[in-house]
């Protein structure tokens, strides 16, 4: 009986150690030392990640394809949640800047840019430190563009 208990405790400790190795989140972390970034290594909270392109200044351009939500504000806010998730859970806090572009299918069948904005290094740090929450990002991002259908 004691031997069985020791084996159970030993296996539990081993599993705990194995599960805690790596980045802890079970998600891929952004590595800017690479020349190309595999967008399929990441996911978004809302929509699909089309690509991630590294810029010369250790920044990235993130392009996403989104779908409309229940109202215009929620459609815009889902993009802020995407950026928040990338910074908090996927290591995008190493970026000097994040340029975010979202496209969507329009009612006429075309695909158009519907939201874009820039997250500067200071804001990235505030997001990572939990000083700015996702639904407040619209008050802090730079170069905010909203398609006329979302205004």
95 vs 83: CA distance, rounded Å? 12
11 within some domain: no
The model's pTM:
0.80
Is residue 25 a part of any domain in this protein? Answer: no
- Which of 41, 40, 46, 43 minimizes the C-alpha distance to 66? 46
Q: Band the pLDDT of 29: cuts 50, 70, 90.
A: confident
Query: Whose CA is closest to 24, among 90, 105, 119?
Result: 90
- In this structure, what token pair is assigned to residue 68? 């409309």
What spatial distance separates the first Cα and last Cα of the chain, rounded to whole Å?
Answer: 69
Domain count, the chain: 1
Name the CA dihedral angle for 143, 50, 56, 33, rounded to a multiple of 10 degrees.
130
Using DSSP, state whether 110 is helix, strand or coil: coil
pLDDT, mean of residues 3-23: 41
Q: For residue 78, what pLDDT is reported?
A: 97
Cβ within 8 Å of residue 48, ≥6 positions away: 64, 65
> Residue 93 sits in which domain range?
30-150
């Amino acid at each position: 009986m004691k031997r069985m208990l020791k084996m159970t405790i030993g296996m539990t400790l081993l599993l705990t150690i194995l599960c805690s190795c790596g980045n802890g989140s079970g998600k891929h972390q952004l590595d800017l030392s690479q020349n190309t970034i595999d967008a399929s290594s990441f996911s978004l909270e809302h929509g699909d990640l089309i690509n991630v392109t590294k810029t010369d200044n250790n920044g990235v351009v993130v392009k996403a394809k989104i779908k409309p939500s229940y109202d215009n504000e929620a459609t815009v806010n889902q993009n802020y949640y995407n950026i928040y998730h990338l910074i908090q859970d996927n290591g995008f806090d190493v970026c000097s800047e994040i340029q975010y572009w979202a496209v969507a299918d329009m009612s006429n069948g075309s695909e158009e840019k519907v939201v874009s904005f820039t997250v500067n290094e200071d804001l990235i740090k505030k997001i990572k430190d939990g000083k700015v929450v996702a639904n407040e990002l619209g008050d802090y991002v730079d170069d905010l563009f909203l398609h006329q259908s979302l205004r």
